[in-house]
Amino acid sequence: MEKKLLLVDVDAGVDDAAALMMALAAPHVEILGITCCFGNTTVENIPVYQGASTPLLNTMKKDYFYGTDGLGDIPDADAPGSDQVQREHAVAAMIRVVSETPNKVTLVATGPLTNLALAVKMDPTFPKKIKNMSIMGGNMYSRGNIDICAEFNFAADPEAAYIVLNEYTCPTSITTWEFASSHSLPWEFYEKCTSQDSEKARFLKEIYTVTTGYQKRPIPKLRTLYRKPGFVSCDCFAMAAAIDEDLVTESIFCAVSVELNGSHTRGMMVLDIDDRLKKENKVSIAKELDMEKFKGLLLAALK
């Protein structure tokens, strides 16, 4: 089987780590580079290609859902140091990697889209060189997690999300916040995954301690319309969709954009179901997936 080449742009949270572990465990996947931006933690906490440290307009609300270091604030004396930080800027690295292997790289974006927005501004041909793109972010039913109607990644830099969704013409799939919330995994399965006798399973369980504490809180009644009780690792859905293109079994295919001005809707993804925007490029928004395949990828990641 031909290797699936991935370039992964993260914001270094717990679920980004889980998504990377999923990709690294897949035998037919090769990660060409890991770039990062602000989001769940500062870029200084990430020993890879450092990218944007603030949104384009620098209006982000701080959120420490995954701890102040993005990995649950678990001390690790053996963690890689600053010597692992690459001198090349993340955006330059993205452009270089894709240019070296044009039309063969799948770009997976699991954080704010600032690096991607900067990449297309630096090189307008960048999106044309990408094979396809998988994004975790946005929403399709106007339900938010960081704001009333906005999901964290898009709300962190709405202008960047707007640029990406309007200027990237490569085939694009999106797994939204509501999609992830409605496809939570039973806690029994989470315990099965993280109780495997492996360093990876123990590591993931430890860094997820803060997050699972939040996730186990009672869910408000109205939120149960789309949020099922259980374990949710949002970024893993975008990664799984990139690893196995048959994983998503039902999608909405339409043009999308991002609201920039609303007092309650800034950062909300807008679905152009009736094609009023008359945009040529459409995206695929996940609605359903093969849960057994998804569980298998997560189990394999922690063996």
Q: Which residues are catalytic?
A: 11
The CA angle 100-106-112, to the nearest 5 degrees, is: 105
Specify which residues 175 forms β-bridges with.
136
Which phi and psi angles does 283 have, rounded to 5°? -125, 160
The Cα–Cα gap between 6 and 87 comes to 21
Q: What are the residues whose beta carbons fall under 8 Å from the beta carbon of 45, sequence distance 6 or more?
A: 12, 69, 70
Q: What are the residues whose beta carbons fall under 8 Å from the beta carbon of 230, sequence distance 6 or more?
A: 184, 185, 186, 187, 190, 215
Spell out the long-range contacts of 74-79 with Cβ–Cβ below 8 A and sequence spacing 24 or more.
Answer: 74/206, 74/207, 74/209
Side chain identity at 42, as an amino acid letter? T
Helix axes 199-207, 187-194, angle to 10 degrees: 130
Which phi and psi angles does 117 have, rounded to 5°? -65, -45
Pairing of strands 49-50, 132-136: unpaired
**Dihedral sign for Cα atoms in the order 214, 66, 202, 236:** positive
| Secondary structure (DSSP) of 175-187 | E-HHHHHHTPBPH
| Secondary structure (DSSP) of 225-289 | GT--SSB--HHHHHHHHHH-TTSEEEEEEEEEEE--S-TTTTT-EEEETT--S--S--EEEEEEE
